[in-house]
Amino acid sequence: MSPESHAGHALAPVRTSLEPTAETAPAAPAADAFEAARLALLRDLQLAFRKRSQLIQPLAFFAMVTLLFPLAVSPELSRLRELAPGVLWVGALLASLLAVEFLFRDDAYDGTLEQYALSGQSLTALMFAKTLAHWLLTGFPLALMAPLAALSLGVSASALPGIVAAVAVGSVTLSLIGSIGAVLIFGARATELAIHGAPAHAPLELLAALAVLGTTLAPLAAAAAVRISLE
Amino acid sequence: MADQTLEVENLHLWRGEHHVLRGVHFALARGACLEVCGANGSGKTTLLRTLCGLIYPEDGRVLWNGENVRRDLRAFHAALAYLGHEPPLKSDLTARENLHYWIGIRRQLSAEELTAALARVGALSFCERQVRTLSAGQRRRVALAGIALLAVPLWLLDEPVTNLDAEGRELVAGLIGEQLARGGMVVAAVHQGLPPSVRNLTRLELAA
Q: With contact defined as beta carbons under 8 Å apart, do B93 and A50 qualify?
A: yes
Section B165-179 average pLDDT: 94
How confident is the model at residue A107, as a pLDDT? 83
**What pLDDT digit, counting tens, does each position of B25-60 carry?**
999 999 999 999 988 888 999 999 999 988 889 999
Sign of CA dihedral B119, B125, B130, B131: negative
Instruction: Identify whether the C-beta of residue A127 lies closer than 8 Å to the C-beta of residue A223.
Output: yes
- Tell whether B41 lies on the interface with A, counting CB pairs under 8 A: no
Q: Which CATH number does the domain housing residue B17 bear?
A: 3.40.50.300
In this predicted model, what pLDDT tens digit does every residue of B156-167 receive, in sequence order?
A: 999 999 889 999
Distance of alpha carbon B150 from alpha carbon B152, whole angstroms: 6
**Integer angstrom CA distances of residue B56 from A169, B9, B48, B67, B166:** 39, 14, 12, 16, 36
Examine the pLDDT at A182 and tell me if it is beyond 90.
Answer: no
User: Is A39 contained in some domain?
Assistant: no
A136: in domain? yes
Q: Which of B16, B78, B21 is nearest to B204 (CA)?
A: B21
- Examine residue A167 and state whether it is found in any structural domain, yes or no: yes
Residue A29 inside a domain? The answer is no
Return the pLDDT at B91.
93
- Write the DSSP symbol of residue B148: H
B6 and B156 Cβ atoms separated by less than 8 Å? no
Of chain A, the percentage scoring pLDDT greater than 90 comes to 16
Q: Is A168 inside a domain boundary?
A: yes
Residue-level pLDDT at A196: 65
Cβ–Cβ pairs < 8 A, chains A and B: 182
In a domain, B171, yes or no: no
Number of domain units in chain B? 1
Q: Which strands, in side-by-side order, build the sheet including B18-29?
A: B18-29, B5-15, B59-64, B67-68
More confident of the two residues B136 and B199: B136
Q: Searching chain B, which residue's CA lies closest to the CA of residue A123?
A: B74
In a domain, B88, yes or no: no
Each residue's pLDDT tens digit, B6-21:
999 999 998 878 888 8
Q: How far apart are CA B201 and CA B204, in angstroms?
A: 10
**Closest listed residue to residue A115, CA positions, set B49, B109, B12:** B49
Residue A27 lies in a domain: no
| CB atoms B32 and A110 under 8 Å | no
Per the structure, the complete domain to which residue A148 belongs is given by 51-230
> How confident is the model at residue B47, as a pLDDT?
94
Report how many helices (DSSP H) and strands (DSSP E) chain B contains, helices first.
Answer: 6, 9
Nearest by CB to residue B23, choosing from A8, A22, A24, is: A8
pLDDT of residue A190: 66
- Residue B64 structural domain: 1-79+155-163+187-208
ipTM: 0.93
What stretches of chain A adopt beta strand conformation (E)?
A: 5-6, 9-15
40-59 in chain A: CB under 8 A from chain B: 40, 42-43, 46-47, 50-51
pTM of the model: 0.83
Single-letter amino acid code for the residue at A168? A
10 Å CB burial of residue B174 (0-12, 13-18, 19+) is middle
Q: Which residues of B touch A17 (CB under 8 A)?
A: 199-200
A73 within some domain: yes
In this structure, is residue A23 part of a structural domain?
A: no
